[in-house]
Copies of this chain bind each other. A is one copy, B any other.
Amino acid sequence: MIVVLTGGTGGAKLIEGLAAEIDPAELTIICNTGDDATFHGLYVSPDIDTITYTLAGLCDADKGWGIRGDTFTALEQLRRLGNDAWFNLGDKDLATHITRTKLLNDGLTLSEVTDRIRRQLGVQSRILPMSDQRIETRVQTPQGELSFQEFFVKERWAGEVTSVRIVGAEQAQPAPGVLEAIRSAEAIVICPSNPITSIGPILAVPGIRAGLEQTSASVVGISPLVGSAAISGPAHKLMIASGFEASVVGVARCYKEFLDALLIAAQDHFAALVVEALKVAPICTDIRMASLADKRRLAGEVLALVKK
Contacts and interface: CB of A to CB of B under 8 A. Distances in A.
Contacts of A75: 95
Q: What secondary structure prevails in chain A residues at the interface with B?
A: helix
Contacts of A70: 73
A91 interface: yes
Interface residues of A, number: 30
A199 to B, nearest CB: 28
Contacts of A92: 73-74, 76-77
Contacts of A308: none
A96 interface: yes
Interface in A54-108: 67, 70-71, 73-78, 80-83, 91-92, 94-96, 98-99, 101-102, 105
Interface stretch (A116-124, A216-224, A258-266): A116-124
B81 A96 contact: yes
A243 interface: no
A96 B74 CA distance: 9
Contact of A78 (B83, B98, B121): B98
Contact of A95 (B41, B81, B102, B120): B81
Contacts of A281: none
A140 to B, nearest CB: 27
Contacts of A77: 67, 91-92, 94-96
A41 B120 contact: no
Nearest to A96: B81
Given A77-B92, A91-B77, A92-B77, A83 B71 contact: no
Interface in A141-193: none
Given A81-B99, A94-B98, 19 more contacts: A41-B101, A41-B102, A71-B71, A73-B92, A74-B74, A74-B98, A75-B95, A76-B95, A77-B94, A77-B96, A78-B98, A80-B95, A80-B121, A81-B96, A81-B117, A81-B121, A82-B116, A83-B95, A91-B94
